[in-house]
Amino acid sequence: MTIFTKIIQREIPADIVYEDDLCLAFRDINAQAPTHVLIIPKEPISSLDALQSEHQELMGHLLLKVSEVAAELGLSNGYRITVNCGEEGGQSVDHLHIHLMGGRKLNWPPG
């Protein structure tokens, strides 16, 4: 079980900003921008590479929630989402998550 499943199950605390039957959004504990939220499926999918065709609707749901959460958090000047995948992609928690970052001018390309 990853730390994110423990957050979903309320075994460890998190600053939750959105929740529905399929997903949870909470503030990253090590924020890289003034607003940095993780949007995760409740289903414990390990990474983008673990997605199956049955997850198509779920992933669409997550992406639709991005702009809703961004608007709710006041990111009217723009924002960025990132999904790190695997070791070289910088993934450190093996539960699929979308980083939503905003509140400052973001550099491109990322490091």
51 vs 63: CA distance, rounded Å: 15
Under 8 Å between Cβ of 100 and 69: yes
* Site membership for ligand AMP, residue 30 (CB under 6 A): yes
Query: In terms of C-beta density within 10 A (0-12 exposed, 13-18 middle, 19 or more buried), how is residue 64 classed?
Result: exposed
* Site membership for ligand AMP, residue 35 (CB under 6 A): no
Among positions 71, 90, 104, 110, the unique one binding ligand AMP when judged by CB under 6 A: 90
Least distance (Å) from ligand AMP to the CB of residue 35? 13
Interacting residues with ligand AMP (CB under 6 A) = 3, 14, 28-30, 38, 84, 90-93
